[in-house]
Amino acid sequence: MKTIALVPVRNDAWVLEHSLACWSGFCDVVIVSDQDSTDGARDIYRRFPKVVVLETPRDNAVAGLPQQARWRLLDAAREYDGHNLLWCTDADELTLPSFAKRFIAAHADALVAGRVVECRFYNLWKNETRYRDDLSQYGPHWKPMGFVDDRVADYPRDPSRRPLHEPRMAIETDPHALRTPDVPVLHLQWVIWNRNQLKQAWYRCIELMDRRMTAVHVNAAYQVTLPPWRAHTEAIPDAWRHDTTLPSAAVADRQPSWHEADLMKWFDERGVEFFEGLEIWHVPSLRREFARRTGRQPHPDRSYRPPATDRAARIARLAFNAVKRRLLP
């Protein structure tokens, strides 16, 4: 059985040196579906002998989405014989290699066709040394990261499905899934804070252009990605830092964002006021652009929010419960 990493990539050079080193440390092959990267990613691929690159030029507004990329990656993985462990990941997710290698060796007999592997998933938060540790969806949680290919399962290959909502793996549910707390996966999306807010704005615009959701419905669905007023974090253990290298969050966050370039193109094509109802204008560069083009400030549709009195009561309840949890044994 081989271990094969499957990774859609678009302009992720800021983290690729680190993530490719991780996957190369425990995988036999790393298949990358490159979606027309222009940031020097190809030079990085060449430094890793296990990497196989699938070229995927972008030819329309949503070709950079991972949906068809994941289909191509699965097809490419099946060019290798056998029931292989397919590690379905993203460029900004670091699987600690020595931890994963030990797990695979120790559980070789249990890694049978159709078996899913779930890992503890940690969102590093605003810098590369701390992760978010609370009861939100961004706190530590179990996430399916790999499955043993039965060579039958497939994605629902329906191009009419909503973008951004395709499954990550062809098999994601398994009543006998192997859950391993000993293979932490570090997600770096929230490390590059400013660029990530542009990424979330990009997602919202994709949803609105798809026309299956109104602006207020998009805002309600994505409200959890808005900057929180408070987030509890913990330092990552030293053992994790010794098993991988991490990019500098400050340096990465200063690099130009391809998401912003796409957003500006869509503003040109559809008019910036088409997107006014979205909650994207807290991003300074987008707010400035709206004011430049219209001569006024944007007014996003926040009608999904409950009345201010209800919000205040909810915050009070959360604060009371948080204090109670800390005081009671």
Burial track 105-115 (b if 16+ CB lie within 10 A, e otherwise) = eeeeeebebeb
Same-domain status, 65 and 96? yes
Same-domain status, 289 and 223? yes
Average pLDDT over residues 116-134: 95
pLDDT tier, 94 (very low <50, low <70, confident <90, very high otherwise)? very high
Average pLDDT over residues 37-56: 93
Same-domain status, 21 and 138? yes
215 in Cβ contact with 290 (< 8 Å): no
Same-domain status, 230 and 108? no
What is the amino acid identity at position 237? Answer: P
Same-domain status, 158 and 198? no
What is the amino acid identity at position 227? Answer: P
For residue 223, give the DSSP letter.
G
Let me know if residue 321 belongs to a domain. Answer: no
Let me know if residue 283 belongs to a domain. Answer: yes
What's the burial of 220, exposed, middle or buried (CB within 10 Å: 0-12/13-18/19+)? middle
Q: Answer yes or no: is pLDDT of 322 > 70.
A: no
Cα angle 59, 60, 61 (rounded to 5 degrees) comes to 140
Q: Answer yes or no: is pLDDT of 302 > 90.
A: yes
Of 165, 187, 209, the residue at which a domain comes to its end is 187
**Rounded-to-integer distance, Cα 189 and Cα 198, Å:** 11
What count of other Cβ atoms lies within 10 Å of the Cβ of residue 127?
15
Of 154, 187, 220, the residue at which a domain comes to its end is 187
pLDDT tier, 326 (very low <50, low <70, confident <90, very high otherwise)? low
Residue written as tokens 């979606």? Answer: 35
Residue written as tokens 């408070």? Answer: 230
**Rounded-to-integer distance, Cα 131 and Cα 235, Å:** 6
pLDDT in tens, 258-268: 999 999 999 99
Let me know if residue 317 belongs to a domain. Answer: no
Q: What pLDDT sits at residue 61?
A: 39
DSSP letters spanning 254-274: TS--HHHHHHHHHHHHH-GGG
Same-domain status, 269 and 131? no
Number of domains in the chain: 2
**Rounded-to-integer distance, Cα 171 and Cα 271, Å:** 40
Let me know if residue 327 belongs to a domain. Answer: no
Q: Which residues contact 210 (CB under 8 A, 6 or more apart)?
A: 162, 163
Same-domain status, 227 and 249? yes
pLDDT in tens, 63-83: 456 678 899 999 999 999 999
What count of other Cβ atoms lies within 10 Å of the Cβ of residue 265?
11
Average pLDDT over residues 18-26: 98
Pick left, alpha or beta for residue 291 (phi over 0 → left; psi -120 to 50 → alpha; otherwise beta): alpha
Same-domain status, 181 and 206? no
pLDDT in tens, 176-191: 999 999 999 999 999 9
Let me know if residue 251 belongs to a domain. Answer: yes
Q: What pLDDT sits at residue 255?
A: 86
**Rounded-to-integer distance, Cα 93 and Cα 101, Å:** 16
Q: What is the percent of the chain where pLDDT is above 90?
A: 76
Look at 53-67, 88-102, 173-187, 304-318 and tell me which has the smallest mean pLDDT.
Answer: 53-67
Range of the domain at 261: 193-294
Let me know if residue 307 belongs to a domain. Answer: no
Same-domain status, 165 and 214? no
Residue 138: strand, helix, or coil: coil
Let me know if residue 107 belongs to a domain. Answer: yes
Q: Which residues contact 177 (CB under 8 A, 6 or more apart)?
A: 115, 116, 117, 118, 144
Residue 227: strand, helix, or coil: coil
How far is residue 31 CA from its own chain's centroid? Answer: 18
**Rounded-to-integer distance, Cα 108 and Cα 101, Å:** 11
Residue 163 sits in a domain whose CATH number is 3.90.550.60
Q: What pLDDT sits at residue 59?
A: 56
Same-domain status, 35 and 79? yes
Q: What pLDDT sits at residue 160?
A: 73
Residue written as tokens 């990539």? Answer: 9
H or E element: which one contains 309? helix 308-327
Average pLDDT over residues 224-241: 92
Let me know if residue 88 belongs to a domain. Answer: yes
Same-domain status, 119 and 213? no
128 in Cβ contact with 247 (< 8 Å): yes
Same-domain status, 212 and 90? no
Of 136, 168, 187, the residue at which a domain comes to its end is 187
